Amino acid sequence: MKKVQFVMAPPPAHMVGDGFRVHSFFPNHEIHNKRMSPFFMMDYNAKTILPASKTPPGVGVHPHRGFETVTIAYHGRIAHGDSAGNSGIIGEGEIQWMTAASGILHKEYHELEFSKTGGPFQMVQLWVNLPAEHKMSSPKYQAITKEMIGHYVLPEESGTVEVIAGNFKGVKGPAYTFTPIEMYNIRLRKGAELKFELPDGFNTGMLIVEGNVNVNSGTDAPQDHFVLFENDGTGINLQAKEDTVILVLSGAPIHEPIASYGPFLMNTTEELQQAIKDFNTGKFGTLED
């Protein structure tokens, strides 16, 4: 079995822009910047009810270089755009996978009609590191709709596994990844049990998006908590204590130096300085706020 290293309660929340109240599960003093590699950062906007607003809140134009952003929508809708010409709406059950790589400008706001009415809002945003050989590749964009996601159906309608990336018991996910990654949304009915395996040596964690689950017949993980596993072993056993939704993140570590500053994730300080210079001189393109 993959042993549970610890279960983390949500850290204190902070605002990203004026539209996202997030708990940053990593990196921090408990999970350093390589412990969940290739995943570098996870911001979690826990489920909340947003009031109606005539002006959509969010985050204005900002740069990225050296990594990918992955936004997973559970409730609510986000409108986004970037300097490569990509734009659209991320709706419930959908994923935006943006490869910033050599550099891109990005903006994201609550979608206008959703903002006017308000309602339940719940999202995850991940930063996925890129290996050095791909950090300066061309930006790439993947809009992953509900219809594209692979589904593994559990017996007796006890649940489903939505495969975003990787391969779950023969069901493949649609996301293209630069390094080996397994990413699933697991939905279990109360009382359901699921046993599966992930590769030995992969960094692995789980966010309990809804409900409550017992992990490996010994560890309880309640809603809005993050489960970090040790690297050894392959097996995981989940028992749902109530209807539960779990985001599974597992990936092969990138064994390279990390140099990060704000929205830039590179390998050296010199590369960070170049990223800042390139941004300031307009090499990331243009994007209206």
Q: Is residue 288 part of a domain?
A: no
**Residue 73 resides in a domain:** yes
Residue 211 lies in a domain: yes
Q: β-strands 235-240, 171-172: how paired?
A: unpaired
- At 136, the pLDDT band (50, 70, 90 cuts) reads very high
User: Are residues 246 and 208 in contact, defined by beta-carbon separation less than 8 angstroms?
Assistant: yes
Q: What pairing do the DSSP bridges indicate for beta strands 171-172 and 167-168?
A: antiparallel
Lookup result for tokens 């902070």: 14
Residue-wise pLDDT tens digits, 87-129: 999 999 999 999 999 999 999 999 999 999 999 999 999 999 9
170-212: pLDDT as tens digits: 999 999 999 999 999 999 999 999 999 999 999 999 999 999 9
State the pLDDT at residue 82.
97
Q: Is 27 helix (H, G, I), strand (E, B) or coil?
A: coil
Domain contains 224: yes
Question: What CATH number does residue 88 fall under?
Answer: 2.60.120.10
* Whether the Cβ atoms of residue 66 and residue 101 lie closer than 8 Å to each other: yes
Q: Is residue 242 part of a domain?
A: yes
Tell me the whole-structure pTM to 2 decimals.
Answer: 0.98
CB-hemisphere CA count at 13 Å for 46?
Answer: 18
On whether residue 259 sits in a domain, the answer given is no
Distance of CA 231 to the CA centre of its chain: 20
**Residue 81 one-letter amino acid:** G
- pLDDT, one tens digit per residue, over 36-87 is 999 999 999 999 999 999 999 999 999 999 999 999 999 999 999 999 999 9
Is 277 in a helix, a strand, or coil?
Answer: helix
Q: Using 50, 70 and 90 to split pLDDT, how confident is the model at 258?
A: very high
How many CB atoms lie under 10 A from the CB of residue 180?
A: 15
Element (H, E) at 157: none
Asked if residue 133 lies in contact with residue 141, where contact means CB atoms within 8 angstroms, the answer is: no
Domain of 142 in residue numbering reads as 4-251
* 114 occurs within a structural domain: yes
Distance CA 183, CA 150 (A): 11
Residue at 271 is within a domain: no
Residue 47 near residue 109 (C-beta atoms within 8 A): no
Number of structural domains found in the chain? 1
Q: What 3-state class would DSSP assign to 190? A: coil
The pLDDT tens digits for 218-244 are 999 999 999 999 999 999 999 999 999
